Amino acid sequence: MPIVMESAKKRVIIPRGEVADIVARLAAEITRDYKGKNPLLIGILKGSFVFMADLVRCLDFPLEVDFIRLSSYGSSTETTGSVKVEQPLRSKVRGRHVLVVEDIVDTGITVSFLMAYLKKKKPASVRLCALLDKPSRRRTPVTIDYLGATVPDRFIVGYGIDCAEEYRNLPDICVLEE
């Protein structure tokens, strides 16, 4: 663990109850648009695993789930700007209604890469659901079709989101403070 984080304090910015309300609201929007379409939900690992698990349990209709593991940060806190597919999809995308499920959009580089990557595979449609958006950091334009909440330009952790692989298991969404 980096020494700088040993003194970091966590401050809750979205408590777990509010997260659950946000997830339920997103699920209602997704149900309205996707019920009967057997969509393919694609989560971006690792950060989306908690959000995906809660979201799909609020969706009461047939759907499929897959994951892709992308990485642009390595072990750094600054994006390298180039995205690598660390673990590919297993599902066929062609002709499917695809919904990308992402924990946080920061610079936008990760989801921009994935949306372009998926469009080349000729889905029937592809949209983005993001739990959190940090628009102050954007480096490339991103359309978020289903958005949970906007967060400030602080170091966000919890609910799947890490700092140097720590804190993913926090049930609340927090900022790290020195």
What are the residue numbers of the active site? 106
Distance of closest approach, residue 145 Cβ to ligand PRP, in angstroms: 16
Q: Which is nearer to ligand PRP, 124 or 164 (by Cβ)?
A: 164
State the nearest-atom distance from the C-beta of 22 to ligand PRP, in Å: 17
Q: Which is nearer to ligand PRP, 76 or 94 (CB)?
A: 76
Supply the minimum distance, in Å, between the C-beta of residue 7 and ligand PRP: 22
158, 88, 23, 119 alpha-carbon torsion, rounded to 10°:
130
Residues 125 and 174: their CA atoms lie apart, in Å, by 33
For ligand PRP, the closer CB: 16 or 168: 168
91 three-class SS: coil
| Closest approach of ligand PRP to the CB of residue 13, in Å | 17
Q: Which residues bind ligand PRP (CB under 6 A)?
A: 44-47, 71-73, 79, 102-110, 162
Q: What is the DSSP string of 6-71?
A: TT-EEEEEE-HHHHHHHHHHHHHHHHHHHTTS--EEEEEETTTHHHHHHHHTT--S--EEEEEEEE
Token reading at 134: 């940090």
Cα–Cα distance between 6 and 176 in angstroms, integer? 11
Which tokens go with 85? 């597919």
Task: Please give the structure tokens belonging to residue 98.
Answer: 């695809």
- Rank residues 1 and 36 by Cβ distance to ligand PRP and give the closer one: 1
